[in-house]
Structure 1
Amino acid sequence: MMKIRYPYIPIYGLLLLLLAVGCTAPRSIIQSGKVTPRGEFKIGLNTGANLASAPLSQLDDITNSAIDAVTGRDSVFYDQQIDVFAQALTAYALDPVGPAFDLYVRYGPVTRLDVGYKFASGVHVLDAMYQFMGPTGTPENPGIGNFYGSIGLQYSGQEANILKRFNVNRLVPLLDFTARRRDLVIPLIFSRSFGPEEEIGNISWGLVYHHSFFRYGFSPDELYERVGDQVRRINPVTERSNFPAFGAFVNGKIGYKFLYALPAVAVYYQNYGSYQLLAGKQFSFKGVRVVPTIGLQLRLGGFSR
């Protein structure tokens, strides 16, 4: 049989690689029940973290099994260590952990409706919010009331080729894992204003429904399995899946008229379902995700009112 050798990959390097490329569906909720007033803009940035219990539990497994699988072997056969590696790659694509950063802009084209664009850790996000409760004025021209409610729809899409993206050429043939996902998020938001029309901020809370559509695949070139006395190459796998997530959140806005700080935290529970791996293996898992963030927001358009 052809000799297949893979060099030693530093354990912490692989760990950092997975954290760095772990693009995730944007799940931080920073909006209030009051949408952007007609003709106004909001721009801002947020930084935070994506903390997921299921992938976090795989950190040690993925690093150690990957190293053991490729170090000092003449041929690479599918075994328990490679299986754990495949599981962990899939888990990271489904729900990765690590730091998060986003930039966004929102605009109010009509009364009670605003639209937004966000660039979140390499992911493009589009959304719209409809305000069904509360006044629609501005701090300069306030309406009556200080309680608001809105509902929204957010869409994002992304692709991940974890190994090829970072040119880890020696690991690419081992599994050649790729993934694509599309995410829909529906937040229901209520808030109470501090000052007229959120002049000095607000506190917001609500519920979130999230649905992910996931496609992934393994295309190994030089991975084998033993079947009795025979040795055969592992066949590629391409699968589709979708799963819901349910969450709750609370956030705040603190500032005055045009510049605000926005702390927020969201918590999600989800059952990811079952996933087909190589050599007929399957795995399933469920877990909790916590998304804390802190940001700054600038309001534009109300200076002359």
Structure 2
Amino acid sequence: MKRLPSFSSASVLAAVATLFTTSCMAPRAITSSGKVTPRGEFRVGGNQAFNIPTETIGKTGAAVKEAASQLSSQDKVQYSELVDKLQVAALAYVIDPVQPAADLYVRYGALPRLDVGYKYAFGSHVFDAMYQFMGTTGTPESPGGAAGSLYGSIGLQFATQRAKLPSIPYLDDIDGLLRFRANRQDVLVPVVFSRSFGQEEEVGAISFGAVYTHTFLRYGFDPRNIYKSGSNTELLPTLPEQKRDFSSYGAFANVKIGYRYAYVIPAFAMYYQNYGTYQLLNNQTAKLKGFTFIPSIGLQFRIPNLKK
């Protein structure tokens, strides 16, 4: 099978149609610092991020949009390379969508060096924990370290969601033609270091680190009106459920700015992933890989331990 057109300005313009549509995906913007939530305290907040994957933009360009509109209007579709392009576009979008991504979260300090959290990403449910292996565990009201202290932590995040194409015209056309279905689970492991602004991050911190993610995907195609090439009577067989998994490797930085109870957190993360080889209809395959850039901005509120 031929490779699809690569990342280009035309592809970017066509992909703009997806900018205002949110689909389900585990959040990968890292806004935490190396200091976990102190025991008995809560942190609540929200983030607005934007997922910008180079491979998906390259596979959902103007030519794909035109092909989706053309084929969806036909009562009988003859299999061709255009059908392959639509399959790859659907897979790329579910694996790594071009989308704004919002989330709301709450974290609680369960132990002196361990906090746990839940995050709702509008369709994706995320559970995680972080362990602090470096730095003090005090609070701004009861500091245990000097201003400018260094902190470090490691986390584990698990997310699950039913993946689907969003309801916008050309993706609706693809979904109606291919009857695409998918679900995914994501495991994320960040290692975070931070330098405190003031004692115990009283006025914020600058944070940086590395992150590893692993994604488990199930997908399939069940078309009802795609016929084998050259035939008007023999339907193309359904692609049964396929299982794939892939790793992503990333780096990130964020800045936490505020005072004691409220903070603004701008952040940036970058990932590289080889998504692997995917089975398509008619015994075709496609390989996907690329970079993903995730700028974000968030608000965080600290609720101190009132019992203390």
Settle same-fold status: TM greater than 0.5: yes
Separation in structure 2 between the aligned mates of residue 200 and residue 101 of structure 1, nearest angstrom: 25
Separation in structure 2 between the aligned mates of residue 231 and residue 162 of structure 1, nearest angstrom: 29
* 1:270 partnered with 2:282: no
**Residue aligning to 1:76:** 77
Q: Is the 8 A contact 1:173 1:221 kept in 2?
A: no
Separation in structure 1 between the aligned mates of residue 19 and residue 76 of structure 2, nearest angstrom: 25
Matches within 5 A, 1:1-305: 16=17, 20-60=21-61, 61-71=63-73, 73-145=74-146, 146-162=149-165, 173-226=176-229, 231-237=233-239, 238-302=241-305
Q: 1:62 aligns to what SS in structure 2? A: helix
Q: CA deviation at 1:280?
A: 1.0
Letter in 2 for 1:124: H
Q: CA deviation at 1:231?
A: 4.5
Cα distance change on mapping 1:79 and 1:21 into 2, 3 Å: farther
Q: CA deviation at 1:144?
A: 2.2
Separation in structure 2 between the aligned mates of residue 23 and residue 176 of structure 1, nearest angstrom: 18
Cα distance change on mapping 1:133 and 1:220 into 2, 3 Å: same
Cα distance change on mapping 1:43 and 1:169 into 2, 3 Å: closer
Q: Is the 8 A contact 1:123 1:157 kept in 2?
A: yes
Q: CA deviation at 1:303?
A: 5.8
Cα distance change on mapping 1:151 and 1:293 into 2, 3 Å: same
Q: Deviations over 1:121-157 (max 9, x none)?
A: 3211000000000000000100124110000000001
Letter in 2 for 1:75: K
Q: Is the 8 A contact 2:22 2:99 kept in 1?
A: no
Separation in structure 1 between the aligned mates of residue 49 and residue 84 of structure 2, nearest angstrom: 31
Please, which moves more after superposition, 187-196 or 157-166? 157-166
Q: 1:57 aligns to what SS in structure 2? A: helix
Q: CA deviation at 1:24?
A: 2.1
Separation in structure 2 between the aligned mates of residue 225 and residue 17 of structure 1, nearest angstrom: 31
Letter in 2 for 1:76: V
Cα distance change on mapping 1:244 and 1:177 into 2, 3 Å: same
Separation in structure 2 between the aligned mates of residue 176 and residue 13 of structure 1, nearest angstrom: 22
Letter in 2 for 1:298: F
Q: 1:115 aligns to what SS in structure 2? A: strand
Q: CA deviation at 1:162?
A: 2.6
Separation in structure 2 between the aligned mates of residue 43 and residue 205 of structure 1, nearest angstrom: 21
User: What runs of 5+ residues in structure 2 fail to find an aligned partner?
Assistant: 1-12
When normalised by structure 2's length, the TM-score is 0.88
Cα distance change on mapping 1:165 and 1:253 into 2, 3 Å: same
Q: 2:77 aligns to what SS in structure 1? A: coil
Q: Is the 8 A contact 2:190 2:212 kept in 1?
A: yes
Please, which moves more after superposition, 216-225 or 130-139? 216-225
Q: CA deviation at 1:160?
A: 2.3
Q: Is the 8 A contact 1:274 1:282 kept in 2?
A: yes
Q: Is the 8 A contact 2:116 2:130 kept in 1?
A: yes
Q: CA deviation at 1:98?
A: 1.1
Please, which moves more after superposition, 105-114 or 52-61? 52-61
User: What runs of 5+ residues in structure 1 fail to find an aligned partner?
Assistant: 1-11
Cα distance change on mapping 1:54 and 1:160 into 2, 3 Å: same
Separation in structure 1 between the aligned mates of residue 220 and residue 167 of structure 2, nearest angstrom: 14
Identity of aligned residues (%): 46
Separation in structure 2 between the aligned mates of residue 19 and residue 222 of structure 1, nearest angstrom: 31
**Residue aligning to 2:4:** none
Q: Deviations over 1:153-211 (max 9, x none)?
A: 00001112437899x98765521001110000000000000000000000000000000
When normalised by structure 1's length, the TM-score is 0.89
Letter in 2 for 1:149: G
Letter in 2 for 1:78: Y
